[in-house]
Structure 1
Amino acid sequence: MELFQSIVQYILDLGSAIFVPVIILVLGLIAKMPFKRAFMSAITLGIAFTGMNMVIGFMSNAVSPASEALANNTGIVLPALDLGWTGAASITWSWSYAFVFFGVVLGVNFLMLVLNLTKTLNVDMWNVWGKALTAYLVYFISGSLIAGFIVAVVQVILELKMGDMFQKHIQDLTGIPLVTVTHLMNISAVLMLPVNKLMDKIPFFNKEADTAALKNKIGIFSENSVMGFIIGLLLGFAGAYGISGSLNLAIQVATAMTLFPMISKMFMQALSPLADAMSELMKSRFKDREVYIGLDWPILAGRSEVWVTAIIIVPVFIGYALVLPGNGVLPLAGVINYSIAVGGLLLTGGNLYRMIVLGIIYSPLYLYSATYFAPILTGLANKTVAVEVAKGTEITWSSLEGPEFRILFAEAFKGDFLAVGGAIIFIGLFYWLYKEMMKAKVPSQRYKKAPHPSGK
């Protein structure tokens, strides 16, 4: 077991930009791609992930200090320190059972593919730690390690079904064939669904409102660079950066917003040949069968709606943290809430009006969940000594993905009857979302008006 952990840890230490492309290279060779072509796809994917992560890091490093300045100007201090996903990942990988979940993920995925219960092959092994984190959270709350493993298996199943239900929408949004996203953050669309359905009744929210559609309405102000500049400038002023600091932040955000779609094209360049090869392989082995390649969420990062929503929500997120009773965390490392933005993108097809409203409505969920999980993550950190926690303080993650799923199932296995009911309702909502997304039009056609019978 120790040898296996050492091997896996060595591979993980190489980083996702190496780990995932290696898997893609192997898949390409299995799909009988020429080595040169498979190797080039793998290299290009590694470049795409590296470039996207660099720009995401650049954006976070620009926005987070402004967010912290905005919060510090209030003079309010909250007890739990937000370490973001990197802190949570470091702690989780130090848990003794974490590496077992490679087998869990692969086993469940293989079984579901064989039984034709999914079309998604999840190659995003880098995020196995998310399943391990769920298992630990459930184990800590319920006291049952078996319950932790059961809920982790449920998470793997739901991620694969989300890969299925969102695939045609992701393909329409990115232009990459037979590729989907299997990240847990997609699950935020489940609770958003009822509110989104209510918006269907309001004419204002039934207009085309992605950035492409807005170009016809607001012209230059819908350009990625201009939107980024304006949003960065306003955030700088809100953080009391002054004119110089605000202008610099504006240029930094504008730079990131301009680079995102450029780098996203590399994902298409890398993955399209693999998708074609996998499609041909499946046709030769299984009649009328296709397989989707499940990847991490950055393949969606080229959509500017994600960033417009995420950054606009930053001051809202901080504002909630300062005024909500019972909240114990100030969002810093996790202040850019990708879960809300990505879930909203997939649910609404990139309708900015809906995405921003959904972000405002659901932000408190993440703060209260982060407060709830603070003693649990602190306990794991102290147990593994992966992260040093100052005495008398706590650590947490302000935008932890799928908090409602994790809390409901953990409390259900603890024996809380309200949580059992909540978990059942959650699965019902998930089924509703699955049916809605499977029958829904793709984003490019979502809000198109039907042509008049006369042709006018």
Structure 2
Amino acid sequence: MEMINWVINLGPSVMMPIIFFIMALCFRVTIGRAFKAAMLVGIGFVGISLIITLLLESMGPAAEAMVSRFDLQLTVIDPGWPVAAAIGWGTPIVPFAVAGIILLNIILLFLKVTKTVNIDIFNFWVFMVTGALIYSMTDSIWIATLAALIHFVIVLIIGDLTAPRIQSDFNLKGVSFPHGTTAVFVPFGIAINWIIERIPWLRDVKADPESITKKFGVFGEPLTLGAIIGVLLGILAGFDIGSVMTLGVTVGAVMVLLPKMVDVLVEGLSIIREAAEAFLKRRFPNREFYIAMDTALLIAHPAVLATGLLMIPTALVLAVILPGNRLLPFTDLASLSFLFAMCSPFLKHNMVRLYITGIVIMTMVLYIGTDISGAFTEAAKLANVALPDNISNTTELANLVGGASTPLGWLLIKIASFFA
């Protein structure tokens, strides 16, 4: 556990370069190029992290202000994905789940069931938080670990199946995204797109960034869309004119800078991918392999990021109007893009289709969060996690962005409840 915690505490910006440097050497890349590739990956992660943090720190106060301004009184609060990650990494199932995931990945690669080498170790928490909730209910390490492994395998398969389309649409080669938060929602995105294609007036709406830019010129560019959305969110939050303008510029900056940081990371990744491809083709001439990556690489797309921002006030409205919902969207509001990032290619990067999909996904997440709040709160106590200062220890908890808040996580939790 101490070794695992030490590695995790390094964070992706340090952990991933080390992993990629070792991989590059294994694939016979010279030390100099391996170092450059690993550092570019690390710099890319640092840049992405800084910009996402900028977005979260800018949108966090706006989200809190909206909650306060509209006096939303709901009994389950969202403490954010960092708390969910701490729960996932803080229960007794961790050594068994981590070892099981790595071993299972190797076995599935050997059996040719998967093409993905999942080195995205930090995001193992997405699977383990499902196991953590089950452990809090059943007190069984083995049932909880089994659930986490099932969650992992299903998401791994989705990552394989979606990789070709995502690689093509996002211009990313040799990678897949077996991310337990977003992969599970891809089938819903495909289903919604199928329905929209059969509604004449709706299917003809062109709302992808290219069409918007072509139609509106500079007013349709990502930086302008970001600025407009930032200003609107600032107004909804009741900010003064200076804060509204600051938020508009900040969101516009995020829309421009985030894709550039992804480009830096991809430059380093390309060096290793090309070497890996050549090395593996010599030894496995008829096989193709993918490297697992974080969904953060996908939210840089203007359609995904802009729709995620539009979902912030929408999530609050849904929380109020949905009958039976008790979950108040809060800390994770600025991270909603992660929920449907993988759906975007299957929705033609159309913001109208993405927004409709976002509403469906958010509705599911709110009801799931309400239903699992008891187990989530108990798991947080067992893991002894520190809650944000503005959240009471006596409040029931459930987050928006995490494996347990997906239909797959919920289904596994429900099945396991029969053993409680």
User: Counterparts in 2 of 1:133-144, with a 5 A limit?
Assistant: 133-141=129-137, 144=140
Partner of 2:94: 98
Contact 1:179 1:293 in 2 (8 A): yes
1:397 pairs with 2:399: yes
Q: After the TM superposition, which of the residue ranges 390-399 and 125-134 deviates more from structure 2? A: 390-399
Amino acid aligned to 2:185: S
Partner of 2:356: 357
Partner of 2:227: 229
1:107 pairs with 2:103: yes
Partner residue of 1:186 out of 174, 183, 186: 183
3-state SS of the aligned residue for 1:173? helix
3-state SS of the aligned residue for 1:335? helix
Deviation track 1:125-145 (CA, whole Å, cap 9, x = no partner) reads 111122221112233445654
Partner of 1:425: none
User: Counterparts in 2 of 1:158-169, with a 5 A limit?
Assistant: 158-169=154-165
Partner residue of 1:155 out of 151, 158, 161: 151
Counterpart Cα distance in 1 of 2:102 and 2:402: 24
Q: After the TM superposition, which of the residue ranges 60-69 and 184-193 deviates more from structure 2? A: 184-193
Counterpart Cα distance in 2 of 1:200 and 1:62: 36
Partner of 1:302: 300
Contact 1:225 1:255 in 2 (8 A): yes
1:57 pairs with 2:56: no
Counterpart Cα distance in 2 of 1:27 and 1:368: 42
Counterpart Cα distance in 2 of 1:221 and 1:282: 46
Q: After the TM superposition, which of the residue ranges 151-160 and 261-270 deviates more from structure 2? A: 151-160
The offset of 1:104, in angstroms, is 1.2
Counterpart Cα distance in 1 of 2:397 and 2:62: 21
Contact 2:184 2:406 in 1 (8 A): no
Deviation track 1:396-449 (CA, whole Å, cap 9, x = no partner) reads 213334521111122123349xxxxxxxxxxxxxxxxxxxxxxxxxxxxxxxxx
Contact 2:298 2:342 in 1 (8 A): no
Partner of 2:273: 275
Partner residue of 1:333 out of 328, 331, 334: 331
Contact 1:314 1:335 in 2 (8 A): yes
Counterpart Cα distance in 2 of 1:271 and 1:174: 14
Partner of 2:381: 382
Partner residue of 1:320 out of 318, 327, 330: 318
Partner of 1:444: none
Counterpart Cα distance in 1 of 2:133 and 2:346: 27
Deviation track 1:371-409 (CA, whole Å, cap 9, x = no partner) reads 222222221222232225745322221333452111112
Counterpart Cα distance in 2 of 1:382 and 1:303: 37
3-state SS of the aligned residue for 1:293? strand
Partner of 1:248: 246
Contact 2:296 2:338 in 1 (8 A): no
Deviation track 1:11-43 (CA, whole Å, cap 9, x = no partner) reads 211111111121111111111111111111111
Partner of 1:372: 371
Counterpart Cα distance in 1 of 2:167 and 2:331: 30
Amino acid aligned to 1:55: I
The offset of 1:242, in angstroms, is 3.0
Counterpart Cα distance in 2 of 1:174 and 1:196: 19
Compute the TM-score of the two structures, normalised by the length of structure 1.
0.86
Contact 1:82 1:334 in 2 (8 A): yes
Counterpart Cα distance in 1 of 2:151 and 2:35: 32
The offset of 1:206, in angstroms, is 5.1
Counterpart Cα distance in 2 of 1:161 and 1:375: 30
Counterpart Cα distance in 2 of 1:158 and 1:252: 37
Contact 2:42 2:265 in 1 (8 A): no
Amino acid aligned to 2:332: G
Counterpart Cα distance in 1 of 2:149 and 2:340: 25
Contact 2:92 2:141 in 1 (8 A): no
Could you tell me which runs of 5 or more consecutive residues in structure 2 were left unpaired when the two chains were aligned: none
Partner of 1:199: 196
Counterpart Cα distance in 1 of 2:4 and 2:147: 23
3-state SS of the aligned residue for 1:397? coil
Partner of 1:284: 282
Partner of 1:31: 27
The offset of 1:6, in angstroms, is 1.1
Could you tell me which runs of 5 or more consecutive residues in structure 1 were left unpaired when the two chains were aligned: 417-456
Contact 1:142 1:411 in 2 (8 A): no
Identity %: 25
- What count of residue pairs does the alignment treat as equivalent? 412
1:409 pairs with 2:412: yes
Deviation track 1:310-364 (CA, whole Å, cap 9, x = no partner) reads 0011111011112223222221111131343313314324121210111123312
Counterpart Cα distance in 2 of 1:79 and 1:245: 30
Counterpart Cα distance in 2 of 1:356 and 1:170: 19
Structure of greater relative contact order (alpha carbons < 8 Å, 6+ residues apart): 2
Structure 1 runs of 4+ with >6 Å offset: none
Partner of 1:446: none
The offset of 1:209, in angstroms, is 3.4
